[in-house]
Amino acid sequence: MVKEVNRHLTDFKDQLAVYFKFFKDHPDLMKLFLNAGLEGELLNQQTKFLKELINYSQPNLKLPPYAISYQSGGIYMLLVWWVDHDYQKPIDELLLYIENHIVINN
């Protein structure tokens, strides 16, 4: 899955845009997950995927596991906030915030 994502989207910001757009295009999906009490499992799965994505797309980065967990938590909670506010903020504004506050660069 990670290789397929990276084959088409090489920029991390573009990859996140697709991730956020998926939930905006399926607005009830995340609400169903959250109402079912799956917050922890969703965060764990996102963190695993983010680790694979970073390791594959930026192999020289070498972030420690706690840094990936921290950054994944920030991205996840921003997604949860966005869902709770009915996707009112534009994706580009969220991505700009992530780009300025969550560092995944060499």
In a domain, 91, yes or no: yes
Region of 50 please: left (phi>0), alpha (psi -120 to 50) or beta.
Answer: alpha
Residue 31: per-residue pLDDT = 92
pLDDT higher than 90, residue 60: no
Task: Tell me which residue range forms the domain holding 60.
Answer: 2-101
* DSSP classification of residue 96: H
In a domain, 38, yes or no: yes
Instruction: Please state the pTM of the whole predicted model.
Output: 0.82
In a domain, 84, yes or no: yes
In a domain, 106, yes or no: no
Cβ proximity of 23 and 79 under 8 Å: yes
Structure tokens at 82: 């966005």
Q: What is the pLDDT of residues 13-37, one digit of tens each?
A: 888 898 999 999 999 999 999 999 9
Total domains in the fold of the chain: 1
Average pLDDT score over residue span 46-59: 85
pLDDT higher than 80, residue 1: no
- The average confidence (pLDDT) of the chain is 86
pLDDT higher than 70, residue 10: no
